[in-house]
Structure 1
Amino acid sequence: MTPPQPTRVLFVCLGNICRSPAAEGVFLHQLALEQLQDHFLVDSAGTGGWHRGHPPDERMQAAAARRGIQLTSRARQIQLADISSFDHILTMDEDNLAQVRALSQRVQSGSQRARITPLTRFCRQRKAAAVPDPYYGGPEGFEQVLDLLEDACAGLLEALRPR
């Protein structure tokens, strides 16, 4: 019997150097704690390509590292192929959501399309319409984003957990 294909999850923000790589790292960390890494393929991307190839923002890396979370991805821009190759695309804010949905309209009719959802819909303890961009703020913004991501990713994992 062939093992089931992993659930493919893509986190998307604007530049792919703060929020989405942090969400990717948080989700991967939670998967490792639950020993579920083999059940998921996880990536992140940005709607813009300005930081293509760059590591996550150093401030976000430092805040995540204090929580035992490593951020190792490299920034990339979302591609049309991502709409068909991922099962779930989780966006950080309304602008990201609108841009990803617009991109998905370009996928050929009849092709598989990812389920595109705001990540904050999976929050269980916190109430937020969006994951705020901490890029222009101080250190507390990175901590607040990680608090929100930990909550949302825990809810996402619960929703997608293999049964």
Structure 2
Amino acid sequence: MAAGEAKSVLFVCLGNICRSPIAESVFRKLVTDGNLENKWMIDSGAVSDWNVGRSPDARALSCLRTHGIGTTHKARQITKDDFLTFDYILCMDESNLRDLKRKSSHIKNCKAKIELLGSYDPQNQLIIEDPYYGNDEDFETVFEQCLRCCKAFLEKPH
């Protein structure tokens, strides 16, 4: 990465209240801990518009707090501009990937590389399952997956 050349990443899930805000918060902490804040622009968003303006799920917030991570994120839906401005759009499952690829196919000069966040998992768990209908343990699983994937993503050359 050339000096002064910041990279950008957008984490995406269905509603932007569980998985993607956890991934965003985890990545932001890794970047902060590594003193790389000036190298990354980080955000998260949703494929759907269901939760626009809402805070993350209380269980997601609780899980992050357990790990000493806070967030002030409010859910938002991805926009056409996101495909033009972000270097990476990392999503959580096959359904997100299909929706994002479909949306990006209608955007001229799409800059974003659209991938599954799980493609960076050293344990090869490709899909990060939606914990919304699950329990606290499911949110912890999402956190652990996001942590592994975000570390591996951050360590790769960009």
Q: TM-score normalized by structure 2?
A: 0.95
Q: Tell whether the 8 Å contact from 1:104 to 1:113 is kept in structure 2 after alignment.
A: no
Unaligned runs of 5+ in 1: none
Distance in structure 1 (CA, Å) of the matches to 2:100 and 2:5: 24
Aligned to 1:48: 48
After the TM superposition, which residues 139-154 of structure 1 pair with which residues of structure 2 at under 5 Å, given as runs?
A: 139-154=136-151
66 and 82 in structure 1: CA distance in 2 versus 1, 3 angstrom threshold: same
2:128 equivalent to 1:128: no
160 and 65 in structure 1: CA distance in 2 versus 1, 3 angstrom threshold: farther
> In structure 2, the residue corresponding to 1:8 is in which secondary structure?
strand
Aligned to 1:118: 116
Aligned to 2:72: 72
Identity within the alignment, %: 37
Q: Tell whether the 8 Å contact from 1:15 to 1:48 is kept in structure 2 after alignment.
A: yes
Deviation at 1:147, TM superposition (A): 0.5
After the TM superposition, which residues 1-163 of structure 1 pair with which residues of structure 2 at under 5 Å, given as runs?
A: 4-108=4-108, 111-124=109-122, 126-160=123-157
Superposed CA deviations along residues 10-57 of structure 1, whole A, max 9, x for unmatched, are: 000000000001000000000111101110000000000110000111
How many corresponding residue pairs?
Answer: 157
Q: TM-score normalized by structure 1?
A: 0.92
Superposed CA deviations along residues 99-135 of structure 1, whole A, max 9, x for unmatched, are: 0001110112xx24200010011112x2312101110
Distance in structure 1 (CA, Å) of the matches to 2:120 and 2:73: 23
Deviation at 1:160, TM superposition (A): 4.4
> In structure 2, the residue corresponding to 1:62 is in which secondary structure?
helix
Deviation at 1:84, TM superposition (A): 0.7
